[in-house]
Each structure stands twice: as C-alpha cells, then as structure tokens.
Structure 1
Amino acid sequence: IGVYNNYSQIGAEPGGSFTGADFSIAPDNEPPDSAITSITDGATIPGLQAIAGLAGDNIGVNGLEAAMEDAATGLWWNAQEGQWVTSTTGPLFGDARAVLQGPPNDLNWTLRADAGDGALANLASNLVTGGNYKIYIRAR
C-alpha cells in the first residue's frame, strides 16, 4: 500500500502485552510528482550535477528514482551491469541517490556528480560527448 512513518510510543513492562488500541489506515491515493527545472529539452550540460528539480506529495517524498535512455539507440543505462541494455518494459528506474532538501511534502532535489551505487552509477564515463540522452525522474 505504501510507506507509513507515523509512530505512537506505548509504554509496556518487559514481557508485558498491550491490547485494545484502536486505529485506522487511510490509503494514499495521490502519487507523488516530480519535475526537472534546471534544464530544458535539448540542453547541453557539463554533468549530472546540473540536473535538479522539485518533488512533492501530500504525505511526503521518500526518495527519487532515475532512468537514462540513449536517445540515438533506445538503450537504457543499467547501473548493475555497467552498460547500455535493451528493455522491453521501459525505463530501468533505480534510486537516483539525489540530494534532497526541504520538507518531505515539497522538496528540491539535485543529482550528484558521482551517483555512487545508485541508478546512474558509472554513467558519466559511458556518456559520449555530443550524444543525446533522455533522463526520466520520478518521486516515490
């Protein structure tokens, strides 16, 4: 259903039990949204750190996922394999390892120059100067 992070502390003796707690769960039917705001279509950028944007959600954004497509070949970056691969299911999303700033329901994000072990890991050394790429971002 989703991630819930509202907690209530209940005191109990070691080995004791607790009963009779009434609670309800309301589904979160609003998906989070995200947008790239730092670049426009066709922009030339010096590196991934130039890509930034906004993300929001009525409950809160837990993270950002990214996928990169080579526009010329239609191949997708697979960070686990460290190479461009075909995908019959569309974007190969994974954790973007982005820098997130602000409250979780309305935050700013920036991709890191070094994506570490995230979805864009080792990508920079596999981009061709003058190449055309599409980046897909989604909040979760």
Structure 2
Amino acid sequence: MAASQPTGAPNSGQATEQNLYEEFHRSFVDLFGPLRFDFENPPNPSVENHRAAVEHLVPKFADNARAMELYFVRWKTIFGNLNPDELVKEEICEMEAEIRRKDALLAKIYEKLGEWKTTFTNEAMEQKKDQNEENASLLN
C-alpha cells in the first residue's frame, strides 16, 4: 500500500520521511560538491562542466525541496483536520508572541520618546535661559 502512495504522503511512514530527507540532503551535497572539489583542487575549473552540472542539479534540488515542502504541508493539513483545537491553540500562541514583540517595541518607542522629550525640554529651557541673559545684558 505504501508503494502506491506518492513520495511525501503523510501516511507513508518513517521510511518515506527518511528517504525524502536523504534525497534532499544528497541533492544539496551534490549541488555544492563541484564547488567544494574546485576549492580543494585549485587548478582552473571548466566553466562548461560547472554549467552542465548546475543545469542538472539545481532542478533536482528544487524538486526535492518541493517534495519536502509538500510532505510538511500535507502533515499540517492532516494535523489541522484531526485536531482543530491544537491548530487554534498554535495560532493563539503565535498571536500572543506577536503581541509581546509589539508591546516590547512600543515600550522601546515610549522610552526613546521620553528621552527626546527630556532633551527637547532641556534644550528649550537652555534657550530660554540664554534669551533671558541676553535680554538682561541688553537692558544693562
């Protein structure tokens, strides 16, 4: 039964999960393998060889990445359908974390606002003091 399911299907079990991960990891290593080889062996690399390798390996890597993403999306869909309460709790936690981050940002903004207010008040008082001294010196 598991053989008839597409790669990355949620019900296909641990073997498919490991297989997806191994394929993704292998394609990632294969993608950067020629670069590592050229770095370790500095003679002039062939640009055409790299181009051919990249033209083959990048789509393979992208396909494996899509398969992994599809696997996780399917699991999230199944998890959400089976446990809507958990999905709601997860969303609530994310929103609470966002509110905490925004509250912290607001606290920093209000702190800076207080500092600027104090700075401007002090500057205004100094200017007023300087003006009063200037007026006093003109009167004398």
More helix by share: 2
Same fold per TM (> 0.5)?
A: no
Higher RCO, 1 vs 2 (CA within 8 Å, ≥6 residues apart): 1
Q: Please indicate the TM-score interval, normalised by the length of the shorter structure.
A: under 0.3
Select the structure of larger CA radius of gyration: 2
More strand by share: 1
